[in-house]
Chains A and B, each alone.
Chain A
Amino acid sequence: MTQFVQEVVNGVSLGSTYALLALGLAMVFSILGLINFAHGELVTIGGYTMWTLFNHHVPWPAVLVLTLVATTLAAVAMERIAFRPLRGASIVTLLITSFAVSFFIQVALQIFVSAEPQGIGVPRWTDTVWHAGNVSLPAVKLVTFAVTIAAVVLLTVFLRRTLLGVAMRAAAEDFDVVRLMGVRANVVVGVAFALSGLLAGIAALLFFASAPGVDSGVGTPLVINAFIAVILGGLGNLYGAVLGGFVLGLATSLLDANLHGTYTQFSQAFALAIVVGILLLRPQGLVGRSEGLT
């Protein structure tokens, strides 16, 4: 029982990171129809920002703020430079372009920053572990979960209570009509990217607080898992994305712990197989509406 609780704690924490990234992906997708593969590179950029700042002995509250600023600006720049010229292109064009942007940033980081993994000198207190009975509760994991929930709540408030938020929700339904109502398209899209960058920045802070280090490829597995979470929840559905993130995190964690011997290495493969299985039963995702053909 204790072990099971421990696995759930680990799974929920892992799922929180996926959920934060999935939320950003889903938001951009719902408005632009873009599956942004380069979203993972925002996390990488966050990681390198943290590495640089901690190396220069910047106090951690400043690192916190500057990392969020860096990822937000990177996301906005990405939209302005790479994706705005392609507004309205097909989903495949957008997907491939985002793939290219992702590789572009990775190569640029490899050539201009560092080809080897770099350890980040995070403050010691991030290693704190609390205990409840026999279950160990690392502070970072609890904080990750709490921050994820807070981010979802704040985002909900923003989307429901502010004019811009309502415009964004409307844009997800029908962008053209929103523009006819006098809402500027570039503002809506820009804010969507900025928010996705901010969420990626939060994910980066939480992820690198416990990750061994940062390298140029660190974003790829993260974004792939976030993708899977988004699809699992129902493409473009924000709450579905969060739910998908948690389901994927829990499945991975439970399989990791309960498979025996050599099968442990295959746990991610089983998790993916489960996801494909869920999609076969519900192609529209856990929360989404059915729009599929077959």
Chain B
Amino acid sequence: MTRVARYWAVESALGTLPIAAGLLLVALWGWTWGGNQSKLSHFFINVVLVVALQLFSGNSGILSFGHMAFVGTGAYLAGLLTIDPALKSTFAGLPHFLVTPQWHWLPALLAGAGAAGLLALVSGLAILRLDGASAVIAILSLLLIADIVFTAWTAVTRGAGGLYPLPPEATVTHTFLIAVGAVLIARLFKDSRTGLLLQASREDAFSAASVGVAVRQYRVRAWIVSGMLAGAGGALFGWWITTVTPANFFLEPTFALIVMFIVGGTRTVGGAVIGAGLVTLVQEQLRTYEDRSVDLGFLKLHRLTGLTQFALVLMILVVMYFRREGILGRRELDESFRSLVRRPRAAAR
């Protein structure tokens, strides 16, 4: 039995090699290039976030509009734990136990992940009792409640004005390591017993339940692991953007996250990474054009506010109309490679 367990775990860990290699290439580029590395860090952060979403929504089939609540939790806690105490002592009303510490980035990231996991545990026990559309709305409510708390709890979050300056700990190296870790966790989860049973419930919840799959329990497990990953990604996001405001964790970033998730293909970890790459490309390349004005002769536009958003909308509509399963479809990259290699042999027989 243990031999079998070791076998699938090793195989699925090896299966992440194509993705890990791709991420390593990007990181190598960053290490040798030396120019504007923040774009690469952004990509790795997006990978962590979307892989977290894929872990829950991809396996369970329940689309989550609420993951930014976990991302925000991770960003605020990890940010507060790493800001210079001298600076924090000027924040009115900040609880004392948050003022004194100035942690190393990794423990702070783990604390952010832990807090998000705790939020996931509490919210999951309630929300995941629901099913179908009610669950989607209850998860959306989590996002709305989180946004209200982030905005109104000014003693800790500094409200709409934003928490700053967070230390720029989101280097290419740090984000790369966490991204590879996230991909590995997501893939292992997907191929684990819990992951497989959850996928069975995604295909047909009633059939799965009828053969003894404790659907709700597996959903809660995925929700917690996914929430922790999102919290870790949030910690990195905070250090990347250095000024954290509630708007960073509300509807627009939620939509961007969902675009990443859908465009690459919801069923695979590889698809999530590809989606993160495409969306980061759009976000980073179009951002500079948003402040420009356009004069088409017959039409003058002062500012192209929302251009990024517009591009994301087009991406998702193209996928929805022409390739609903996303770019990768059902197979992970390594599974596709393997079937490409095997096919000629099968034909020869």
Contact = CB atoms under 8 A, between A and B. Distances in A.
Interface of A: 35, 85-86, 89, 91-93, 95-97, 99-101, 103-104, 106-108, 110-112, 115, 220, 224, 227-228, 231, 235, 262, 265-266, 268-269, 272-273, 275-276, 279-280, 283-285, 291-294
B63 A265 contact: no
> What are the nearest 8 A-B pairs in CB distance?
A265-B152, A107-B306, A269-B148, A292-B131, A231-B137, A272-B141, A269-B145, A100-B313
B133 A35 contact: yes
A99 B145 CA distance: 20
A60 to B, nearest CB: 31
The majority secondary structure among interface residues of chain B is helix
A118 to B, nearest CB: 15
B136 A95 contact: yes
Given A103-B255, A110-B306, A280-B129, 11 more contacts: A86-B320, A100-B320, A103-B310, A103-B312, A106-B306, A265-B148, A266-B149, A272-B144, A276-B138, A283-B131, A293-B132
Interface centre among A86, A280, A285 (most CB of B within 10 A): A280
17 contacts: A35-B136, A85-B321, A86-B320, A96-B63, A97-B320, A103-B313, A106-B309, A107-B309, A107-B310, A112-B301, A231-B133, A235-B133, A266-B152, A269-B152, A272-B145, A279-B130, A280-B126
A101 B138 CA distance: 22
Contacts of B152: 262, 265-266, 269
Interface of B: 61, 63, 126-134, 136-138, 140-141, 144-145, 148-149, 151-152, 205-206, 209, 215-216, 251, 255, 258, 262, 301-307, 309-310, 312-313, 316-317, 320-321, 324
A262 B330 CA distance: 49
A280 B128 CA distance: 9
A266 B149 CA distance: 7
B94 to A, nearest CB: 15
B305 A115 contact: yes
Contacts of B148: 265-266, 268-269
B131 A96 contact: no
B317 A100 contact: yes
A92 B63 contact: yes
B304 A111 contact: yes
B255 A99 contact: yes
Contacts of B309: 103, 106-107
Contacts of B140: 224, 227
Contacts of A35: 133, 136
Contacts of A266: 148-149, 152
A275 B139 CA distance: 12
Given A96-B262, A266-B152, A268-B144, A111 B301 contact: yes
Given A100-B313, A103-B255, A266-B148, A276 B126 contact: yes
A19 B145 CA distance: 21
Contacts of B262: 96
Nearest to A33: B133
Contacts of B317: 97, 100, 104
A104 B130 contact: no
Nearest to A112: B301
A95 to B, nearest CB: 7
Contacts of A272: 141, 144-145
Given A92-B63, A111-B306, A280-B126, A293 B258 contact: no
A91 B133 contact: yes
The majority secondary structure among interface residues of chain A is helix
A292 B134 contact: yes
Contacts of B131: 283, 292-294
A96 B313 CA distance: 10
A292 B136 contact: no
Contacts of B128: 294
Contact of A228 (B141, B258, B306): B141
Contact of B258 (A85, A96, A220): A96
A96 B138 contact: no
Contacts of B61: 92
Given A293-B205, A293-B215, A280 B63 contact: no
Nearest to B311: A107
Nearest to A109: B306
Nearest to B316: A100
Contacts of B205: 293
Contact of B130 (A85, A96, A228, A294): A294
A70 B140 CA distance: 30
A33 B60 CA distance: 20
A93 B112 CA distance: 32
Nearest to A292: B131
A248 to B, nearest CB: 11
A235 B317 CA distance: 26
Contacts of B301: 111-112
Interface centre among B133, B303, B307 (most CB of A within 10 A): B133
A294 B145 contact: no
Nearest to B146: A269
B134 A231 contact: yes
A115 B303 contact: yes
B320 A283 contact: no
Contact of B305 (A93, A99, A110, A220): A110
Contact of B320 (A93, A106, A108): A93
A102 B258 CA distance: 14
B61 to A, nearest CB: 8
Contacts of A279: 130, 134, 137-138
A91 B306 CA distance: 27
A89 to B, nearest CB: 7
Nearest to A90: B324
A79 to B, nearest CB: 15
